[in-house]
Each structure stands twice: as structure tokens, then as C-alpha cells.
Structure 1
Amino acid sequence: MDPRESRRESQPQPQRCAWTDLKHQAAEYYRSNEVPQRLEEVLNTMFYLRPPDFYGHLANYFSKLSKPPVICKLVGRKVLDGIGHPILEVEVSCQVKNYDKKICSSMISSHAEILENASSEEVDADEKERHDSVNMAIEWINESLDELLRDLQPTDQHKVDELLGEYFRKKAEEEEERREAEKEKEKETQEVVFPPSPPVTGPPGKKKQVKLGKKISVVENPIPPAEPAEPVIKGSMAIGCISLAVAKTAATTSDMPLYLQIALMKHNQDLPKELIMPMPVITLLSCGKSSPGKLNLMKEVMFIPPAWLTAKQSVERSLDIHKQITKLLEPVVQQPSPLVEGKKSAARDAGKKAPPPVIKKMSHLGCIVTGNETLEQPLTLIQMACTNIGLELGIDLYLGINCAAHELMDYNKGKYEVLFGTLKNPDEMVDMYVNLIHKFPYIIALIDPLRKEDTQQWENLCSNLGSKCYLIAEQACSNMSKHQDGQKKNAPKCSGLVVKYVNETKISDLLEMTKLLDGLKHVSVFGSSDGESSDDSLVDLGVGLGTRFIKLGGLSRGERVTKYNRLLAIEEELTKNGILCSREDYEFIDFTEDEQEEEEEELECSDLTAEIVQLALEKVMLPI
């Protein structure tokens, strides 16, 4: 037997309080670092009087006295998203207990929107812009931002975001100066005076006369032109990606999930007793402009669960509907005729093969792409699928439509092309939506039903449909110019916003934005971008921020299924810990208000709305 063990057995068993006193005494000697010999004696005594958990207890206690982790290295690299496009990844290393360790990484998608029906020239330009933007972001990270954030604690998110914001502002100023210099240079090269060209006249003796009685075409009221998109600074995705990576690092080093870290920051380090899960908005069908049929309007037809369904039940119900839709879309296989055809018929059909089966195209949004000829067809298809499995629309589930109206505008004709060859002006669009909701009352959300510029029509929609469905602005807000002539532009009147984590958006911006939306009759929808990565942090952000909905696309494609799996895991964890908030009273919010209430709250709401819009323009709802 070890003599030290025999000596320990011969000594009387210590009282717990005596060993605890020695522990505190050793800690004092450790801090003072003046009597190392005395510290050694105390530690030896503690070793012989140690309780069963001595090693683990002592290690945990003294580890708390070490310096907090600090950022020691940032690495940026190019990776691919779910459809092969380049995106940015940032890896964070920290110095933890005098060792440099790789803690975690985050990925952020490109700011560009994916248009499946784009021309080859547009695709090439878009691909070049993506590569240039990612390469610039990597250059920012590896050359400047790595040194700027070194030795900062990852838990100090406010300080990190403040430095990132200052860095981006300097880059934005440099980019503005460069653009101004290019404009001046172009003006100088174009200032060439040409002699005035003689007026064009017809042949002599032949004057064109206006025929009497001919109808003169009356031009309709012109639509407001699209405001120029705010240019995106190449490399700006480095700011948002680093901010997210630092938040994940703080959660990892604090040994807590990211959603709790975000919730703590939102509630000023005071963790709420319960957390509520955002309701998943799941895409079922895509019938937009890139689909094979005539219908252009419905870029996404989405499943919206009732408030009493859990996330797990919502995903399972959506999967059941998806299976039924797949069955209904299966082509009818024609059986060969039992009659024996003649030689002429056999010779005619010789060498011919059976028609190939219909291939169901899957969208990058993770859903089935279907071709439809009318507005009613996709809705009727979903209704049939629900009936087959005993579900009733309007009770067991609801629907939402992402209209993506900005993709439908034909600016040469000044109208929306809802169906191929069917054009409607903004006022006719309002009438169409009113009739559609009247016919299908289980549609409770319309995303981007109009362009942002059609402000009067947005107001008309809110007046007619605000008490029946949510009118959500996504692209309609993200393309707004930040300032014009020193005045802030108002967002279209709507009942909710889709918040996306792209470009220079920082964690602190999301916190501030959702705080302003809380308590208002504006719902927040945390949405994924068109091109998604396998990083599932988006779900933690939605849960931590407490958004009402989370929009992740369909239940296909690995990068989207990964996020749904994370959503289910968080719900299970909250249930196990007893902090999952019930959604029984989490029903539809009527956006319309009484005229008297509007007059009383007009001044207060206008100021707050302006503040929300300014924040959305400057920080969160960035141009795509």
C-alpha cells in the first residue's frame, strides 16, 4: 500500500468545514503569491484530508480564478452553401487558461437574391459579385479585424459590435469616396461637345396628316419608379459573420446554448423564467416566376400552424401534407391496350419508348416546384391533400403566401404580371388580394404583396385585410434608401417585418430591432436567406430574440432540415428544463384599430415607427 494512503487512513476523518477553510486559505495564498511555501503546506494538508471529490472540486474552484477567455485569432475562409455558391465562414480561437483553442465558427450567406429565371449574363455577373464580396470579406478579417478584436472578451458583445460598426463606417466612407471619384472621371471623359443634328424631316410634298375620328390611346397613371437599390459594400458580410461567431464563442465558453446567451443579452442579463418557441412557417409549394406554369404570383405557399401546435407537431403535420401533395402530383400511368394491334401499328411503334415519368423539381427553398395555370390551383391542391388526411384548413392549419411582387413588375408596361400574359396595375392587385382572401379565408399572411413604392395600395390593403391576415414586408423594406434629402423615408404600412441576418447586421442590431417591435402590433418574422448554409445558429437567434415566427423554407435539402432539427432539439430541451412557455393565447393579432384609438396614438406611434424604420434601414433590413 502507498505509505501516503496508509498515513491518510491512520488520521481521523476531517470535518467538511475544516477542509473548506483550508480551501479558502489556499486561495488567499494563491492570490497574494507572497508565501509559496505556506501555500504548498496547505495544499499538502488538503491532499491528505481530501474528500472523495477532491480533484474535481479543486480543479473547478481554481479554474474560476483564472483569467476569462479572450479572443486570440480570427480566420476567414470561403466555403459553399447548400446550392454551391460561395459564402463566408469565420473561425474564432480564444486563449483559455493559457492555451490557444479553436472554439467555434459561423457562416453567413451572400447578400444577393437567387433568381432562377435570370439570364446567363446576370448569372455570370452575380457569381462574380459573390466571389468578390467573399474575397474582400476574407481580406478584412485576416488583415485588419483579426488584430482589431484581439484580446477582447467574447462575452463583451457590445464592445465587439461597436468596434465592428466603426470599422465598417470607415470602409463605407472610403467606398463612397471611390465612387465619387469614378463619377467625376466619367464626367470628364463624357464632356465632348457634338454639333447639333439637323431636324429630321420627311420627303418633300408628303406631309403626314392626323386622321379625324381616330382614338387616341389614354395612358394610365404611371406607377412610381423603383428606387435605386442601396449599393452593398463588398466585404460587409465579414461584420455580421464575426458578430455571430463572437456570440457563439461567448455561449460556448460560458457553457450555455446560444439561444440562452441571446436571451440574456436581450433581457439585460436577467434570464426570463420562460422562453417561447417561434412558430415555424414551412414552405410547401413554389409556384413563382421560375415555375413551368403560367402562374407567377406565388413564390412560396407556406404552412402556418395554429398556436396550440408544438414545433414537433407542426413539422410532422407538414410532412404528412407534403407526402399527400407528392401522391397527388404523381402522373397517371396509361395502361397498354389489351387489344392486339395490327402489323402497321406495331411497325409504327417499333423503336419507340414509353414516355419518361414526370420529374418533380425541387426548389432551392426546399419545396416542390409546380406549374399552375390559375391562382386557385395550388390552393386547391393543398386543400385536397389536407382532406385526404382528415385536416381542415382554417382550423388544423393555415396558409401564407410569399408573393414576391417586386419580381412580377413589368416596368415597360407599368403593371404586375400575375399570370403569363395577365397584367394588373397596383389598384387591381389590391382587389385581387381582397377577393383571394374572401374566397380562401384560411390564408392569414401575405409577404410582399406589393412593391414598396405603392404606398397608397399598401394602406388600402391594410384597411381591407388588416383584420383578416398579416401583411408582411420583406423585400419591400430591404430596398429602401436610407436617407433622401435629409429626410427619412417611411416604410409601407404593414403588420409585420421579415428580419434577415445578412451583410453588416450585428447581434446588437437584432436585439435593438426586436426590442422595438415587442409590444407593438407589428409581428417579427426571423427569416433565412435564399442561399442557406449548414450553420443552424439562425434557429437559436430566433428563439433567443423571441420572434413570433421563423421562416426556414421547406422540409427538403440538408441545409434547411438541419435547422428544423435544431428547432426540435431546442423545444425538447426547454420542455425538459420546464421553461417552455405555452402558446395557447398566442393567436392572430388584429392589425386594424378603431379610428379614435388611431387619433389618440397617432403621434406616439409615428415617432416609434420612424425609429423602427430608421433602425431597419441602417442596420437590419439591408439591401439585397
Structure 2
Amino acid sequence: MSAPTLSGLHSEELDVHKMKSAAAEFYRMNGVPGIIERALNELFLEQPADVNGYLAGYFRKLSAPPRITRLRGREVFSAKGQLIVEAEVFYIVCNKEKSISSAAVITCAPMVTLLEKNDESQRGPDHVKTAIQWISGPLSRMLVNQNPCDQYGVDRILSNFFRSCVMGEKYMHNKLESLLPRKETVPTSPPLIPAKGKKSADKGKTSNIDAKPLSPTRPLEPVLHESMAMSSVSLAVAKSGAKIKGVPLYKYISDLKSQKELQQFHVPVPWITLIKCGKKSAGKLCLLEEVILISKVKQPVKQSITMAFELQKEMMRMINISTKTGVAQASVLHSGGPTASYDRPEQPLDLITDACSNLNVLLGTDVYLALNCAAPKLVDYSKGKYEVATGVLKSPDELVELYQNLISKYPAVVALIDPFRREDAEQWEKLSNTTGNACSLLSDITHKPLAPVLPGVRGYVLGHVNETTVSDIIHATLHYQGSVLMGAMSSETCSEVSFSDLAVGLGFDYVKFGGLSGGETMAKYNRLISIEEELAQQGLLVCKDSPLLSEEPKEHAPKTEKII
């Protein structure tokens, strides 16, 4: 092998010199010498035991802000075999692409289950496929290079995209309607109203109240079921931000809301479904969709769940052996709580009263009750009344009397959810004036977060569905000052346990996840227990007085609003 020539050595020296010059320029342009000098100076002053660990943490703080690189949407199955959408966020941090967060939020649309025999259902509804296309396509492109820690900026992009989709859908709908032949509408006469003193059709008894025709229901805003893409992406981005900041999601959400780090947190009181009735149950009773247990303030979540579980066991035992309640059969639904055949609203309340007595639980002291009436679902517009039970119709004013009698007979009932339609504002106010502080009226605004305040309403139920972003929920909690309750729709569940973090981080007074059955629901309760134990260990847990369970004399309530 021949020795290198002088000219070859000179050429290599020139290349090395160029590299050194280029490196020096690169370091100078990026301020590397100054950074290294400051790092070494601080290292010497601190003199940590783990030198490399200290330097790694020091330089990590100087890294460029993380940025989203892409989104991925995919179909996943819930514990009920329902097809739902999961959004996954990929982002660059410290020159590496990571994916450590995903979120799945259920839609309000009917879902397809694996139990159905139709092969078409196995491929999932069209709105699920469209939502996945939105996530992996336009939403992914719009969010590229966005900082996942900029929640409000990301949610603004999502909301703008949603509004443009709604406008497009409305345009197409109007265009199609204009092409269809117009149908002649025949005016319909208002429903016949029995005169005062005549027998009503429901029970054949004399009615002391003039039945008035129901005002028309306000038209609902069109729902894009594909919009579950927005809520899934928003929650996934929030989880990414929490991981990047190295804090639990509930603390991250709290910082977003208050714009500062809170030193104390309270865990919302769980509202646990004890028994389900409603139109889908076997009996004639339609009015009470669910009866909910509320534990007293300052009771740990684990104790509340244990008490509810023992009550449910006792109730099931009584249902199976008792003929007093007139119940033919009972079963436990996946969405939570036993369901049984009832004909009158007093029957489930009597069952719970007897079960509490058997277990030495003081109803009205240790625990309280809330009734989810779901009255808007019970309106028979052809008759202008609410169908409280099969064949039993009540006018809005008659329904006021029914609620007054229930509250008087069962003083442990401290809250009614949706006792009327929103259009029956007069009855909301009338019932509130007669019950005062004894019972709070709550309105479910899950699908109408900016709905006007109703007279007599003292609280609101707010859920996280469809196009609702994390920023939307934060704004809603600020808009409706007072007590806040986060609710899950009684007929639907979702595997996203992060809702427990949202409830704590946003400072909700109460949380409603359903009954004590189903893996998805129990996962939320378990997460709530974990958060409570973590806060207690850190000395950050405080107990907040319950605005619905005031120990003051039950006088007329002040007109303050609360959200659940």
C-alpha cells in the first residue's frame, strides 16, 4: 500500500478545516457556546449527584416547543360492542415523534353493535367512517405544526371546521329541498282540551286544572353525528398537553381554566343511578328515567360507591322476594342500575326507602335522592300532555302538582332533572317557587350549552358529546357561574375515563356517570377514587359545601345557577 501524497494530506486538512469552520459557525448561529457555558456554571453551583440527569433536564427545558405532526382516526369497540371513533395525536418533541395519547368519545347517534346480524352493521355506520376520514384527512392537515399545549388554539381550529361543515350541510339540505315538489300542508286543529270540571281521559277523575295547549317545541339544531371527531381530537390533544407538561390531566385542565396553578382541589360528589324506569322499562311508568343516589358531603368516593352497591343488593333482594311493590321482574342494565316493572312513581321510591331502613341508612341525612324525569321525551303533542305512565296523561300544571306531592311525601328528593320541557317556563318557575330550597330543578344542556337561563332552574347538567371541545366545556363552566355537574347520558357510556379528570379539573360540584355496572362506567369511578387518594396524599384535597344539600332552613332558594 502506497503512502499518502503531500497533496492528499493537504486536501484532507482543508476538508477538516472547512468542517471545523462550518461547525463553529453553526454553534455561533445557534448560541451553543453561551448555552454550554451557562449549563456548566449552573451544574457547578448545583453539584447534583446525577450529573447527566441534571444536564438532560436542563437541555430539555431549552428544546423547541412540541408540534403536532399528524392525527390518526380509527374504529374501536366499546364494552357494549358499539363502534366508536378514537383519535390519536402524533407530535414531535426533542426531535422524536411520539404518540402517547388517544381519546374516544361517543356520539348521540344510534350505534351499531356486533350483536346485530346484518353484515352491513359490522362495517360501522357512515358517520363513524366519515369522522375517521375527517380526523386522518382535513383535521390532521389543519393541526400540523400546532402546539399540542395550545388547547384554545387547537379547539378554535376544530370549531371553525365544524361550523364550515354545518354550513355546507345546510346548503345541501336547502338545495335538495328546493328541487323536491312542494307538498300542500293541511292546517291541523289544536288538540281538544277538556273543560274544567270534566273527567280527564287518563284516570277518569275530575281535573281541577284547565289544560292549556302546549307551546311548540323550539326546533333543534341539526346534529352532525360525524362531529364526534371534534370532541375526540380535542380531548386527545388535552391528554397530550398534560403528558408533555408532566402533570395529571385534571391539574392540566384546571390550569387551562384558571390560567394559574391551583393549590387545592375538591372531588365532585358522585350521583349514582340506583334504579332505572322510564319508557324503555317493562312497566307502565314512563316518568322517572332513573332514581339517583347522592351521598352526603365529605364522604369519600369509595364509601359512596360501597353504600350504593349495598343498597342495590338489598333492593334486588327485595324485588325478587317481595310482592308489596307489585314488581314482576328485575334485571341489571349495562348502562348502570337495576331496572324493574313499575306502574307508579311512588313504587321505586318506596323500594329505596325500605332498603335504606333495612340497612340503617338514614335517607335524607346520610344519603339523598335525585330524579331524572326526562320529561321532554314524554310529550304527546296530539293530546297536548305528558304521558307519565302508559295511558296516563298530565298537563304541565298537573305535572307540577304531581311533583309537589312526590317532594312532600319523599323529602329526601333534593333534585329533579328535566321535570318539564324548556318551553314550559311558567311551570319551571311555579314548581321552583313552591319547593324553594327543598328541591332544586336542573336542566340538561348537553346539546345546548348556551341555552338561555330558565326561571326557577338552580343547576345544569353538562355532558361531553359530539362537537363539544374541552374549551367549550371550560367556557360553559365560566358562563354558568355556580355549582357545576358533569353528566353522562343515562342511555350511553364511553370508555374514556378522562371524564373523571375533566370533572375534577373543572371544579364540578357533582358528577353523574351512571350505575354500578359495566366496565366503562366503573373505570370512571375507579379513576375518581384514584384522584381523590392522590390529592389526599399530597395534602391538596379539600371538601366543598354542597350547594344542593344546604343545611340551612329550607326556604325559597336564591336565583343562582349551578351546572352538573
Task: Rate the CA distance shift 1:428–1:591 in 2: closer, same or farther, 3 A.
Answer: farther
Asked whether 1:303 is paired with 2:293, we answer yes
CA contact (8 A) 1:72 1:151 kept: yes
Quick one: distance in 1 between partners of 2:266 and 2:434? 31
Residue 30 of structure 1 deviates from its aligned partner by: 6.6
Residue 268 of structure 2: aligned partner: 278
Quick one: distance in 1 between partners of 2:225 and 2:546? 44
User: In the alignment, residue 312 of structure 1 is paired with which amino acid?
Assistant: K
CA contact (8 A) 1:112 1:130 kept: no
Residue 329 of structure 1 deviates from its aligned partner by: 2.2
CA contact (8 A) 2:109 2:225 kept: no
Given candidates 137, 148, 157, the residue that maps to 1:154 is 148
Residue 71 of structure 1: aligned partner: 68
Residue 427 of structure 1 deviates from its aligned partner by: 0.6
Given candidates 245, 249, 252, the residue that maps to 1:254 is 245
User: In the alignment, residue 514 of structure 1 is paired with which amino acid?
Assistant: T
Given candidates 506, 509, 526, the residue that maps to 1:565 is 526
Residue 168 of structure 1: aligned partner: 162
Residue 239 of structure 1 deviates from its aligned partner by: 1.3
**SS of aligned partner of 2:153:** helix
Residue 412 of structure 1 deviates from its aligned partner by: 2.1
Task: Rate the CA distance shift 1:56–1:185 in 2: closer, same or farther, 3 A.
Answer: same
User: In the alignment, residue 86 of structure 1 is paired with which amino acid?
Assistant: L
Residue 602 of structure 1: aligned partner: none
Give CA deviations for 1:77-116 in whole Å, capped at 9, x if unaligned. Answer: 12223322221110011112111111210011012379xx
Q: What's the TM-score, normalizing by structure 1?
A: 0.74
Asked whether 1:421 is paired with 2:411, we answer no
Residue 417 of structure 1 deviates from its aligned partner by: 1.7
CA contact (8 A) 2:446 2:463 kept: no
Quick one: distance in 1 between partners of 2:33 and 2:345? 82
Residue 101 of structure 1: aligned partner: 98
Residue 423 of structure 1 deviates from its aligned partner by: 1.4
Task: Rate the CA distance shift 1:220–1:38 in 2: closer, same or farther, 3 A.
Answer: closer
Task: Rate the CA distance shift 1:496–1:37 in 2: closer, same or farther, 3 A.
Answer: closer
RMSD in angstroms over aligned alpha carbons? Answer: 3.7
Residue 488 of structure 2: aligned partner: 528
Q: What's the TM-score, normalizing by structure 2?
A: 0.81
Task: Rate the CA distance shift 1:38–1:274 in 2: closer, same or farther, 3 A.
Answer: closer
Quick one: distance in 1 between partners of 2:384 and 2:87? 44
Residue 54 of structure 1: aligned partner: 51
Quick one: distance in 1 between partners of 2:66 and 2:34? 29
Residue 190 of structure 1 deviates from its aligned partner by: 3.8
The answer for unaligned runs of 5 or more in structure 1 is: 1-28, 115-119, 193-214, 334-357, 483-487, 599-604
Matches within 5 A, 1:401-440: 401-440=371-410
Residue 277 of structure 1 deviates from its aligned partner by: 0.9
**SS of aligned partner of 1:372:** coil
User: In the alignment, residue 561 of structure 1 is paired with which amino acid?
Assistant: M
Asked whether 1:555 is paired with 2:552, we answer no
Residue 543 of structure 2: aligned partner: 582
Given candidates 216, 225, 228, the residue that maps to 2:216 is 225
Quick one: distance in 2 between partners of 1:169 and 1:538? 25
Give CA deviations for 1:286-320 in whole Å, capped at 9, x if unaligned. Answer: 11111112221111111001113121221111111
Task: Rate the CA distance shift 1:430–1:54 in 2: closer, same or farther, 3 A.
Answer: same
**SS of aligned partner of 2:397:** helix
Quick one: distance in 2 between partners of 1:38 and 1:389? 68
**SS of aligned partner of 2:72:** strand
User: In the alignment, residue 61 of structure 2 is paired with which amino acid?
Assistant: K
Residue 112 of structure 1: aligned partner: 109
Quick one: distance in 2 between partners of 1:490 and 1:584? 24
CA contact (8 A) 1:525 1:550 kept: yes
Quick one: distance in 2 between partners of 1:264 and 1:38? 30
Task: Rate the CA distance shift 1:39–1:295 in 2: closer, same or farther, 3 A.
Answer: closer
Give CA deviations for 1:37-61 in whole Å, capped at 9, x if unaligned. Answer: 9979x98xx99x9864122222222
Give CA deviations for 1:139-172 in whole Å, capped at 9, x if unaligned. Answer: 1111101011011111111111111122122112
CA contact (8 A) 1:82 1:531 kept: no
**SS of aligned partner of 2:477:** helix
Residue 22 of structure 2: aligned partner: none
Task: Rate the CA distance shift 1:501–1:480 in 2: closer, same or farther, 3 A.
Answer: closer
Quick one: distance in 1 between partners of 2:199 and 2:547? 56
Residue 592 of structure 1 deviates from its aligned partner by: 9.5
Quick one: distance in 2 between partners of 1:247 and 1:443? 37
User: In the alignment, residue 144 of structure 1 is paired with which amino acid?
Assistant: P
% same residue: 38
User: In the alignment, residue 82 of structure 2 is paired with which amino acid?
Assistant: H
Asked whether 1:387 is paired with 2:357, we answer yes
Given candidates 416, 439, 459, the residue that maps to 1:469 is 439
Given candidates 179, 184, 204, the residue that maps to 1:185 is 179
Residue 236 of structure 1: aligned partner: 227
Task: Rate the CA distance shift 1:419–1:217 in 2: closer, same or farther, 3 A.
Answer: closer
User: In the alignment, residue 142 of structure 2 is paired with which amino acid?
Assistant: L
**SS of aligned partner of 2:125:** helix
Residue 506 of structure 1: aligned partner: 469
Residue 466 of structure 1 deviates from its aligned partner by: 3.2
User: In the alignment, residue 235 of structure 2 is paired with which amino acid?
Assistant: L
Task: Rate the CA distance shift 1:64–1:388 in 2: closer, same or farther, 3 A.
Answer: same
**SS of aligned partner of 2:139:** helix
Residue 364 of structure 1 deviates from its aligned partner by: 3.6
Task: Rate the CA distance shift 1:401–1:546 in 2: closer, same or farther, 3 A.
Answer: same
Residue 221 of structure 1 deviates from its aligned partner by: 2.5
CA contact (8 A) 1:446 1:469 kept: yes
Given candidates 291, 309, 324, the residue that maps to 2:314 is 324
| Stretch moving more, 430-439 or 72-81 | 72-81
Quick one: distance in 2 between partners of 1:591 and 1:456? 26
User: In the alignment, residue 60 of structure 2 is paired with which amino acid?
Assistant: S
**SS of aligned partner of 1:459:** helix
User: In the alignment, residue 536 of structure 2 is paired with which amino acid?
Assistant: T
Task: Rate the CA distance shift 1:260–1:458 in 2: closer, same or farther, 3 A.
Answer: same
Quick one: distance in 2 between partners of 1:558 and 1:594? 41
Task: Rate the CA distance shift 1:592–1:380 in 2: closer, same or farther, 3 A.
Answer: closer
**SS of aligned partner of 2:387:** strand
**SS of aligned partner of 2:266:** coil
Give CA deviations for 1:58-82 in whole Å, capped at 9, x if unaligned. Answer: 2222222222221111001122233
Question: Larger radius of gyration, structure 1 or 2?
Answer: 1
Task: Rate the CA distance shift 1:401–1:257 in 2: closer, same or farther, 3 A.
Answer: same
CA contact (8 A) 2:363 2:412 kept: yes
**SS of aligned partner of 2:536:** helix
CA contact (8 A) 1:224 1:453 kept: yes
CA contact (8 A) 2:230 2:467 kept: yes
Residue 15 of structure 1: aligned partner: none
Give CA deviations for 1:567-624 in whole Å, capped at 9, x if unaligned. Answer: 00000001001010123576635899979x88xxxxxx9xxx9xx9xxx9xxxx9xxx
Task: Rate the CA distance shift 1:216–1:473 in 2: closer, same or farther, 3 A.
Answer: closer
Residue 481 of structure 1 deviates from its aligned partner by: 11
Asked whether 1:245 is paired with 2:242, we answer no
Quick one: distance in 1 between partners of 2:66 and 2:109? 35
